Structures are given as structure tokens and as C-alpha cells.
Amino acid sequence: MALIHSIRARLERPGAAGLCRLLEAAAGEHAALLGVGIGDLRREGRAWMLARLGLRARRWPEAGEELEILTWPSRRSAGARAWREFEVLSGGAPVAEAATVWLIVDLERRRPVRLPQFLLELPFPARDTGVEFTDAPAPGGAPSLAAQWRVQPAHLDVNDHVNNVTYIEWGEQEAGGAPGTALQADYLGEARLGDPILCLSWSQWEGRRWVQVILSGDRTCAALQWWQADIR
């Protein structure tokens, strides 16, 4: 059982969202190989749900560029939180790195459960990315931009809620593209088919190029913060 998994794929669209689609595919494929894929968890009435994503890029790859995605379960995993790390290469050269924090959720109660013990006892690779997380932003004052729409079928994933990458697509859409080469996304609530969405964006907020809070009614579903990565 390989603990560092690799896929090769061509980027369909430039920017953070396009790259995150490939990260999601690599993570799902590796989870299935480890015996905790979507189908495995569904049989137990459970599912993976993303709680946090951090991404740092030296540059955003171009559409059509062939990339290699390396991913592995992280030794930072503990309790109910499964960390997964990623490196993105183009022609063998590093382009980006990412870290994600996942929960296994009971689909009936919509509550996290403890990770299977074998996941916590894996011989984790002795490697980490440089991605660290900060608190989710809570900006005040009038936003620079505000936009509204409703959740459509294309926005949903297998858990019947808005897919995590869709929030990043919305953020890029409102900012006119990826507004920085580093992103932290905190996933704080669920939005479902037909729900109203309000996306509030603040530019140049406390050292961040853009901060975006995406709400459905009185629920905060996601918070995005963008800045310029400093990768040496």
C-alpha cells in the first residue's frame, strides 16, 4: 500500500479552483486505495467532508498544462481530523503545495465521528508541506462587493451540498480571477439545492488581498482569504 500517491492530469482551467479540482481527484483516488473511499464510507452511512484547505503556488499553472499531483496522509492527523498534504509538479519542478483537513461525518446526524484507528496508525511519510492555517477571517464594515444567486444542481457534490471547490470558483468569479497565489478556505456550514447565496468580498483587508465570506441565510458556509505566497 503506497502512502504517497501520484496522478498525472492536465489542468482544465487556470487559477486556484482548477488546481483544487485536481487535488480533490487525487485525494479521492488515494482514499479509495486506502479503503476509505466514498463508496466505503457510504456503506456505513458516512462521508468525507472538507473542513479546511490551504494552498500556496509559485505560479498558477496554465490551462492544458500537464501536472503531477503527489498526495499523502499527513502525520498531522489526530482525533477526528485527517490531514492530507499535496505537492504539485510541472515538468518535475514544484509549482504549488497544499494541505487539507478532512472530517468523516455521520450523514444522518451531520456530525463528525472519530477517524478509524488504522488511519491514525499509518506509517505516515516523514514529510510535510509548509502550509499552515490561521483563524478564519471575520471582516467588518461595508464589503467592497456583494453578489447573490441560488444554488444550482451543478454546484452540488455526492453529499448533496455545495462542493468545496465551487466556493473557490465563486470567489474567483467575484474577484475577477485568483486575487493572489495563496489561499485559505474554511468550510463552516452547508448549502443545498435552491438555497440563496450571498457572497461578500473585502479587498485589502488586514494584509490580505481579498477576503470573502459566503453565506446562505444566516449560515456562514465558507470563508476565503487570499494573499501573495512567499515560497522559497
Q: How far is CA 20 from the centre of its chain?
A: 6
pLDDT at 231: 73
* Domain 5-120 architecture: Roll (3.10)
- 195 by Cβ neighbours in 10 Å (0-12 / 13-18 / 19+) ranks as middle
Task: Give the start-to-end residue ranges of the domains of the chain.
Answer: 5-120, 145-227
What pLDDT digit, counting tens, does each position of 151-168 carry?
999 999 999 999 999 999
Fold equal for 5-120 and 145-227: yes
Q: What percent of the chain has pLDDT over 90?
A: 91
Find, among 162, 198, 150, 127, the residue nearest to 50 by Cα: 162
Which grid cell sits at 78? 489526530
- What are the strands, taking DSSP E only, across 46-168? 46-57, 66-73, 82-90, 93-106, 111-113, 145-150
In angstroms, the CA 72 to CA 99 distance is 10
pLDDT band at 140 (very low <50, low <70, confident <90, very high): confident
pLDDT band at 111 (very low <50, low <70, confident <90, very high): very high
- What's the half-sphere exposure (Cβ side, CA atoms, 13 Å) at 178? 25
What confidence tier does 55 reach under pLDDT thresholds 50, 70, 90?
Answer: very high
Which residue stretches of the chain are H helix? Answer: 16-33, 38-42, 117-120, 164-175
Grid coordinates belonging to 177: 480571477
Say whether pLDDT at 28 is over 70: yes
Answer whether CATH 3.10.129.10 is correct for domain 145-227: yes
pLDDT at position 232, please? 65
- 200 burial class (0-12, 13-18, 19+ CB within 10 angstroms)? middle
Mean confidence (pLDDT) of the chain: 95
